[in-house]
Amino acid sequence: MTETASAAPTSGHHEPDGVPRFTPEQLTDFIVAALGQAGLGAEPATVAARMLLNADRRGVDSHGMARLAGFVRRMRAGLIDPDATLTIVNEHPATVAFDAHNGLGLILAPQAMARCIAKAEEMGICLATVRNSNHFGIAGTYALMAAEHGLGGMAMTNASPLVVPTFGAAPRLGTNPIAFAVPTGSGQPLILDMSTSAVAWGKIEIARRAGLPIPPGWGLDADAQPTTDPTQVKMLQPLGGDRTTCGHKGYGLGLMVDVFCGPLAGAGWSRQIARSTNTERSAGIGHMFLAWRIDAFRDPDEFNATLDEIIADLRATPVAAGHEGEHVCVPGDPEAEAERVNRDLGIPVRPGVLKELRALSDEIGIPYTLDR
Amino acid sequence: MTETASAAPTSGHHEPDGVPRFTPEQLTDFIVAALGQAGLGAEPATVAARMLLNADRRGVDSHGMARLAGFVRRMRAGLIDPDATLTIVNEHPATVAFDAHNGLGLILAPQAMARCIAKAEEMGICLATVRNSNHFGIAGTYALMAAEHGLGGMAMTNASPLVVPTFGAAPRLGTNPIAFAVPTGSGQPLILDMSTSAVAWGKIEIARRAGLPIPPGWGLDADAQPTTDPTQVKMLQPLGGDRTTCGHKGYGLGLMVDVFCGPLAGAGWSRQIARSTNTERSAGIGHMFLAWRIDAFRDPDEFNATLDEIIADLRATPVAAGHEGEHVCVPGDPEAEAERVNRDLGIPVRPGVLKELRALSDEIGIPYTLDR
């Protein structure tokens, strides 16, 4: 492993000692109080808390507590509507198009996915879209909702522009994630949750905090030139990096996500989406959800048994020389391990995030309850 | 552009002068005659010819005429059943699971996609799987079938193991392609057709023929060590290359394709799939198809207009310094350009492929009609 930020983990259990950890209840109480000051009722705020903590639990700390202050401020500024409800624009037996009316994605997107799952349970499959939404947390949560119902699931969302198209000098696509999950026999779903950029922005932030260079192929500077200095990164490269290493495929995948979540959903496409730091207009994000019954195709017990066999076989793959100490894992293994550790030890929240939450509590007039 | 095989194009119009070109009729006649000697009737053989030529037309010459001899030989050896028909294993209003009974994917997979499209037209969406199949040509053809009906479409297939999982020393997944297409206002669908490996095997073959090194991140040698010598490549890296450059995402995508096409379809998973050079057992490949109506979600005219706007906007992206002479394109542009050129000039077939087809015609006793 080279001495770059690629070695810097996001998983909570890898955090250096001294990162404060909290019970889900402590964090939920704070989230509900903060969102309450932005006009959100306790019940929807509790859903939002669960969605945010799903990210921190799984070690994706860029999408959890770190996002709270932004949501609260945007909602208080009138850029997210706390009272918005999900409505149906277009519905057929196995499809549904929703409008989130600029409500919080964290609250309304789970409702959309729940309805998608219910329709898939009835019809074998359902494809759902959501327009006029905001950030919905980690895409993996939605795919996992399907797997927890014994269904296969996918989730995608677009996001504000950060990723350059191949050969381009300006960001045009969001990190536009793809999540996919299926049940297995072991009880731990197989879950893939990935941005279609080489890395999510959170990896750049981790490298900045650690003061480590990043590998080539992750980011570009203000002049769209490759850089290994995370402080100089202004745009991300698509998965695959430049053209030589087939970054046009990552670009293509990002565009596919955008077609589902932008033009199909009737939302903005990435280039039109407002950044979370934009204080003047709503985000205009779209989401896509897919759920399907395993037993519409195959006996679920056979499916589960095959999945277990594949997973065991992949994990047993011999490790290549030069990677001693590593092992072959399957997508979702690092997040599942983080979840196990954080369940035992508590959910870690970085000091920088806590500092921001303390400032937020002063700003909005709620007690700061996260002192340790 | 560096002096590596990445600069070596696959598109017919880039082929050096002197590569013989043929009319579709000339090639179709030869294909039908050759498959006839393997027991296939003229009607299904004509479908197979169209599917093979779809690849050559679009510049994906690894998946067209270059595959014919292998199909004929496998069929004559009893490893592909020329008489197999597509049957339904499990059907619901918006889902269908097919069994191809070891027939030729080139013939039976288009039937499966046609049925998927018809069901999607009725229900808004359909997800279809196929088990016990063989190579089905280029995945993009199936996604395009949907787009040509005004629907969105996806297609995936698994394939014999060639790609290592991250850190692994042995191939476990096929190049497992993902294709995605939607209609646009311009009449040229947006089409993404990509292997989930860094490159398809055909790119290694092109570099071998050209005697050029390949970029790092494409292939591994027999000891699973990175190599830039295409003659030493024994396994492919997933999209993204090694762990540092996020190849675990390409690995995850390849596994997602395999879950749809293997365990969900009831086919083998990649590790179990026989190579086309295996003379002892059938392939056991599976496919996945998805089609959806645009108007189940959005007014199709609005969708088309938005797509045109996105495509124009992406193509207008300023080019980064260092890439002068390049331009930002959208997925499918190079293949569409190859198709235009090959429609005017004829379909190119490389001398090495012609030599193999001459040997095939001697072997199976048909006239060699491809002399120029």
- Helices (H) and strands (E) counted in chain A, each on its own, are 10, 12
For chain A, what percent of residues have pLDDT higher than 90? 89
- Tell which residue, B76, B80, B69, B144, has the closest CA to residue B108: B80
Residue A34 near residue A364, CB atoms below 8 Å: yes
- Tell which residue, A244, A165, A217, has the closest CA to residue B6: A244
Do A150 and A111 belong to one domain?
yes
Do B345 and B246 belong to one domain?
no
Mean pLDDT across A33-59: 97
Q: Does A258 sit within 8 Å of B303, measured CB to CB?
A: no
DSSP output for A54-122? HHHHTT-GGGTGGGHHHHHHHHHTTSS-TT---EEEEEETTEEEEE-TT--HHHHHHHHHHHHHHHHHH
Q: Does B263 sit within 8 Å of A307, measured CB to CB?
A: yes
**Cα separation, A170 vs A191, whole angstroms:** 32
Which residues span the domain enclosing B349?
A: 13-77+337-364
Residue A178 near residue B250, CB atoms below 8 Å: no
Q: Per-residue confidence at A87, pLDDT binned at 50, 70, 90?
A: very high
Instruction: Confirm or reject contact between B292 and chain A (CB < 8 A).
Output: yes
Residue B266 near residue B188, CB atoms below 8 Å: no
Residue A191 near residue A181, CB atoms below 8 Å: yes
Instruction: Confirm or reject contact between A93 and chain B (CB < 8 A).
Output: yes
Do A168 and A245 belong to one domain?
yes
Q: What is the pLDDT of residues A121-163, one digit of tens each?
A: 999 999 999 999 999 999 999 999 999 999 999 999 999 999 9
**Cα separation, B32 vs B131, whole angstroms:** 25
> How close does chain B come to A356, measured CA to CA in Å?
30
Residues of chain A with C-beta less than 8 angstroms from the C-beta of B303: 263-264
Instruction: Confirm or reject contact between B307 and chain A (CB < 8 A).
Output: yes
pLDDT score recorded for residue A274: 85
Is it the case that residue A5 has pLDDT exceeding 70?
Answer: no
**Cα separation, B189 vs B191, whole angstroms:** 6
How many distinct structural domains can be found in chain A? 2
Do A176 and A258 belong to one domain?
yes
Do B288 and B174 belong to one domain?
yes
Q: In this structure, what token pair is assigned to residue A357? A: 């939450």
- Do β-strands B235-236 and B125-133 pair in parallel, antiparallel, or remain unpaired? unpaired
One pLDDT digit (tens) per residue for chain B, 372 residues: 333 443 333 333 345 557 999 999 999 999 999 999 999 999 999 999 999 999 999 999 889 999 999 999 999 999 999 999 999 999 999 999 999 999 999 999 999 999 999 999 999 999 999 999 999 999 999 999 999 999 999 999 999 999 999 999 999 999 999 999 999 999 999 999 999 999 999 899 889 989 999 999 999 999 999 999 999 999 999 999 999 999 999 999 999 999 999 999 999 998 899 887 787 888 899 999 999 999 999 999 999 999 999 999 999 999 999 999 999 999 999 999 999 999 999 999 999 999 999 999 999 999 999 987
Do A19 and A126 belong to one domain?
no
Domain of A49, CATH number, reads 1.10.1530.10
Do B127 and B63 belong to one domain?
no
The radius of gyration of chain A's CA atoms, rounded to the nearest angstrom, is: 20
- Do β-strands B235-236 and A285-293 pair in parallel, antiparallel, or remain unpaired? unpaired
Q: Is residue B359 part of a domain?
A: yes
- Tell which residue, A108, A158, A143, has the closest CA to residue A274: A158
Region at A110 (left for phi over 0; alpha for psi -120 to 50; beta for the rest)? alpha
pLDDT score recorded for residue A17: 58
Mean pLDDT across A15-26: 84
pLDDT score recorded for residue A3: 37
pLDDT score recorded for residue A281: 86
**Cα separation, A8 vs A208, whole angstroms:** 11
Q: Which of A157-166, A243-252, A301-310, B271-280 has the lowest mean pLDDT?
A: B271-280
pLDDT score recorded for residue B153: 98
ipTM exceeding cut-off 0.90 for this assembly: yes
Q: What is the pLDDT of residues A328-338, one digit of tens each?
A: 999 999 999 99
Do A34 and A118 belong to one domain?
no
Collapsed DSSP state (helix, strand, coil) of residue B8: coil
**Cα separation, B73 vs B76, whole angstroms:** 5
Do B61 and B102 belong to one domain?
no
Instruction: Confirm or reject contact between A212 and chain B (CB < 8 A).
Output: no
Domain of A162, CATH number, reads 3.30.1370.60
Residues 239-258 in B contacting A (C-alpha not used; CB under 8 Å): 239-241, 243-246, 248-253, 255-256, 258
Instruction: Confirm or reject contact between B321 and chain A (CB < 8 A).
Output: yes
> How close does chain B come to A210, measured CA to CA in Å?
16
Residue B153 near residue B142, CB atoms below 8 Å: yes
